[in-house]
Each structure stands twice: as C-alpha cells, then as structure tokens.
C-alpha cells in the first residue's frame, strides 16, 4: 500500500501536545512526533481491540518477545534471549529507572550535551549530580566526541552514563570506533551505560546504527539498551518501550527499582507494539525515504536561503539542529521565530548551556508544512 505522506492532517482540537502548545496559526515543528498517519496494520489492530469493548488489565501478547528478538537478530545480528527484555511504559521512565537503580544520592550521572531535556533532568530526579561532557564541532560543523573531555568528566562517584544514539538533538549516528572508545572509557571507570536508542530506525544512507551493546560480550554485560516503536511508527501516545538487559544481575536491580512506582504498558500499547513490529516494515521503508527528502530539503534551504543559519545535516532522526548564532537575531532565536514568523521550534537552551543560539526543528511533517515554515523563517530574517 502506497502511503501519502504529503497529506496534511488537521491535528488541531485532537488534544495534541504538539499542536495545542502555541497560539493558533503557529506552525509547530518542535516536539518529536510526526504529522503522519500511523501504519494501517497498527490502526486496524487497535480498531479490532477497541471493538471488543472491554479494557481491563492486560498482559503482554505471548508472541511479542519472539517478534522483538527476531527483529534484533535480523537488523543487528544481535542474539538476545526473550528473558532479557523488560517492557516499560516509555524510554524516559527507563533511563530514570536506571539512574535510581544503579546510583545513590550524591553519585554522578554522565550526560553528553546538548542533550534531550529529560536526560538532563534524570540525575536530579535520582538525587544525583549531573556530569556533562559536551560534544565538539569539527571544521565542517559536524558534532564529534572529545574523548579527553569525556573521560575528564567522569569522577570516582560516576555510576551511569546516559547515552543517546542516534543523537537527539544533533542527529549523529555514532561510528563503531566512537562507540568502542566510549565503551572502553566506561569499562575502565566501572560506569554502566544506559543507551537511549529510540531513534535507531531513522538512519539515512551512508550510515548504520550499531547498538553499543553489540560491540562485544563484555560491553553488552554493562549495558541497558532502551528502544521503542513510539517514534518509529508514530505511536508515541500509546506507551510502550523495551529495556534490553542481558546481564541478569543488572536486570534484577533494574526491575527491583520499579516495584510499586512504575506500571507496565497498557493493553493498547501492547497491541500497537506487536502490530507495528510485525507488520509495519513497509510503512517504515516509505516514511524513511520521505524523511530523507525532507532532510535534504531543509539542509539546502538553510544553506541557500536562511542567512547566518547553519546546519550539519543529520545522519539519523527527523530532527535538525540549527545554529543561529551568526544570524544577527535580536534576543532569543526561539522567541524571534515564534513571534515574527509564527514558527514554533525547540529552544536550544533547553538542551544545556551549550545549546544557546541553537534551535531544534522537527521535519517529520508533510513537505508543504515544512516549505511554509521555512519560508516564514526566511521572511522574518530578511525583515529583522
């Protein structure tokens, strides 16, 4: 079935966080959900479950673990036994739970900045100290890891490194060499890695997602990997995620910390996840090609028409990290484009101090919406 991602779907009045946050008329290119209809097999599975009419407490579908482990083997040649999967209501609860399970108040939690805001908040939620290792930019503006600074940010009380790959917000898909270098530093300092890989299905040609847990057996024993169908199949409102923890002792500590504080996915989350993973691949292949076109369109538009704004084209995700520091924008760039262009983006300052002067743009939308938003931004820059 051919999907029409050019279709503009009216999401106003649907209790959408993305479309209700800002004044009417503003184009929201901020929070990371896509303005596309979810895969038809997912919609049909939910419709059939809803038609049943009874929504009591649910249990996981018996085939779900096998479907996920087969997918991990097919995509990454990663052999995972079903018992290593822990189902959660979301990735954000997952890395918060990891901090609480593995660190004590006053311990250190390492993050790479700029960072997805809930990652920045997780150390404080666990009464821990946030330790930051900022990504650097090379001569072409591409974000890279400064391994000396990365290791220098670790102290004797560092317990967990919350990693994000593909990276939100800069869009990097880290190479095997980069992964191995970070994993070795963490091994040397006895730091457990909690890897947020929620965007792992959004990787563009020339790049490959490698779960850091697959580097070797020793690395895999020091990993909590978090994945979910929520971004991939645009079902973020149906809460389901999975933690992959092959180390039994680590998994027991993780699960023990959730008792009484975190629910399991609900029945509709299970239904959607199973349908997505089992039947969503054709839709995913189409949306990836569409997003690649959107990425290329944004990159060219920024380069040619947004004076003073620059962008290192994302290697993965559907998020563009715009550098507005040379654009001569008066005051805050987020407020400038919201008030003068009617375009709502994410303020880079929310991603850490190093995000000042940056904006995050979500290009997971019909091309017409993207064209209109960028044209508004172009006009605002010309009139400033």
pLDDT tens sequence across 158-205: 999 999 999 999 999 999 999 999 999 999 999 999 999 999 999 999
Q: What is the pLDDT of residue 222?
A: 97
Domain count, the chain: 2
Residue 261, pLDDT > 90, answer no
Q: Are 235 and 272 in contact (CB under 8 A)?
A: yes
Q: Are residues 79 and 159 in the same domain?
A: yes
Domain interval for residue 195 = 55-279
With a threshold of 0.95, does the pTM exceed it?
yes
Q: What is the pLDDT of residue 308?
A: 97
Given 237, 261, 279, the domain boundary residue is 279
Q: What is the pLDDT of residue 259?
A: 84
CATH number of domain containing 369: 3.90.1150.10
Residue 312, pLDDT > 90, answer yes
Q: Are residues 208 and 330 in the same domain?
A: no
Arithmetic mean of pLDDT over the chain: 97
- Asked whether residue 67 is assigned to any structural domain, the reply reads yes
Q: Are residues 245 and 265 in the same domain?
A: yes
Q: Write out the chain in H/E/C secondary structure.
A: CCCCCCCCCCCCCCCCHHHHCCCCCCEECCCCCCCCCCCHHHHHHHHHHHHHCCCCCCCCCCCHHHHHHHHHHHHHCCCCCHHHEEEECCHHHHHHHHHHHHCCCCCEEEEEECCCHHHHHHHHHCCCEEEEEECEECCCCCEECCHHHHHHCCCCCEEEEEEECCCCCCCCCCCHHHHHHHHHHHHHCCCEEEEECCCCCCECCCCCCCCHHHCCHHHHCCEEEEECCCCCCCCCCCCCEEEECCCHHHHHHHHHHHCCCCCCCCHHHHHHHHHHHHHCHHHHHHHHHHHHHHHHHHHHHHHHHCCCCEECCCCECCEEEEECCCCCCCCCHHHHHHHHHCEECEEHHHHCHHHCCEEEEECCCCHHHHHHHHHHHHHHHHHC
- Percentage of the chain modeled with pLDDT above 70: 100
CATH number of domain containing 82: 3.40.640.10
Q: Are residues 78 and 171 in the same domain?
A: yes
Q: What is the pLDDT of residue 343?
A: 98
Q: What is the pLDDT of residues 16-63, one digit of tens each?
A: 999 999 999 999 999 999 999 999 999 999 999 999 999 998 899 999
Q: What is the pLDDT of residues 65-91, one digit of tens each?
A: 999 999 999 999 999 999 999 999 999
- Asked whether residue 363 is assigned to any structural domain, the reply reads yes
Q: Are residues 131 and 143 in the same domain?
A: yes
Q: What is the pLDDT of residue 382?
A: 94
Residue 1, pLDDT > 90, answer no
- Asked whether residue 8 is assigned to any structural domain, the reply reads no
Q: What is the pLDDT of residue 263?
A: 87
Q: Are residues 220 and 336 in the same domain?
A: no
How does residue 244 score in pLDDT terms, banded at 50, 70 and 90? very high
Residue 384, pLDDT > 90, answer no
Q: Are residues 142 and 210 in the same domain?
A: yes
Residue 256, pLDDT > 90, answer yes
Q: Are residues 67 and 183 in the same domain?
A: yes
Q: What is the pLDDT of residues 323-379, one digit of tens each?
A: 999 999 999 999 999 999 999 999 999 999 999 999 999 999 999 999 999 999 999
Mean pLDDT of all residues in 289-318: 98
Q: What is the pLDDT of residue 355?
A: 97
- Asked whether residue 335 is assigned to any structural domain, the reply reads yes
Q: Are residues 257 and 288 in the same domain?
A: no
Q: What is the pLDDT of residues 123-164, one digit of tens each?
A: 999 999 999 999 999 988 999 999 999 999 999 999 999 999
Q: Are residues 267 and 168 in the same domain?
A: yes
């Amino acid at each position: 079935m051919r999907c029409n991602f050019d279709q503009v779907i009216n999401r106003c009045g649907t209790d959408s966080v993305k479309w209700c946050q800002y004044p009417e008329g503003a184009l929201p290119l901020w929070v990371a959900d896509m303005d596309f209809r979810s895969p038809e097999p997912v919609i049909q599975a939910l419709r059939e479950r809803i038609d049943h009419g009874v929504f009591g407490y649910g249990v996981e579908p018996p085939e779900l673990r096998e479907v996920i482990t087969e997918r991990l083997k097919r995509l990454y040649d990663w052999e995972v036994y079903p018992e290593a999967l822990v189902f959660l209501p979301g990735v954000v609860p997952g890395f918060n739970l990891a901090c609480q399970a593995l660190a004590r108040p006053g311990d250190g939690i390492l993050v790479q900045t700029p960072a997805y805001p809930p990652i920045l908040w997780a150390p404080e939620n666990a009464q821990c100290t946030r330790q930051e290792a900022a990504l650097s930019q090379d001569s072409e503006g591409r974000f890279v890891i400064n391994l000396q600074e990365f290791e220098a940010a670790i102290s004797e009380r560092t317990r967990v490194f919350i990693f994000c790959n593909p990276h939100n917000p800069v869009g990097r898909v880290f190479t095997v060499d980069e992964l191995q270098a970070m994993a070795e530093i963490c091994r040397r300092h006895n730091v457990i890695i909690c890897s947020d890989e929620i965007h792992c299905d959004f990787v563009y040609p020339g790049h490959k997602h490698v779960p850091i847990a697959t580097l070797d057996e020793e690395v895999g024993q020091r990993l909590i990997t978090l994945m979910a169908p929520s971004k991939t199949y645009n079902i973020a409102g149906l809460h389901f995620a999975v933690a992959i923890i092959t180390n039994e002792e680590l998994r027991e500590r993780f699960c023990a910390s959730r008792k009484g504080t975190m629910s399991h996915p609900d029945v509709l989350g299970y239904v959607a996840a199973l349908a997505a993973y089992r039947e969503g691949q054709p839709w995913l292949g189409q949306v990836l090609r569409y997003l690649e076109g959107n990425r290329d369109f944004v990159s060219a538009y920024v380069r040619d028409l947004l004076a003073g704004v620059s962008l290192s084209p994302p290697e993965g995700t559907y998020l563009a990290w715009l550098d507005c520091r040379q654009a001569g924008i008066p005051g805050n760039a987020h407020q400038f484009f919201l008030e003068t262009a009617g375009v709502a983006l994410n303020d880079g300052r929310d991603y850490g101090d190093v995000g000042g002067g940056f904006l995050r743009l979500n290009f997971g939308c019909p091309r017409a919406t993207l064209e209109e938003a960028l044209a508004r931004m172009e006009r605002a820059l010309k009139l400033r």
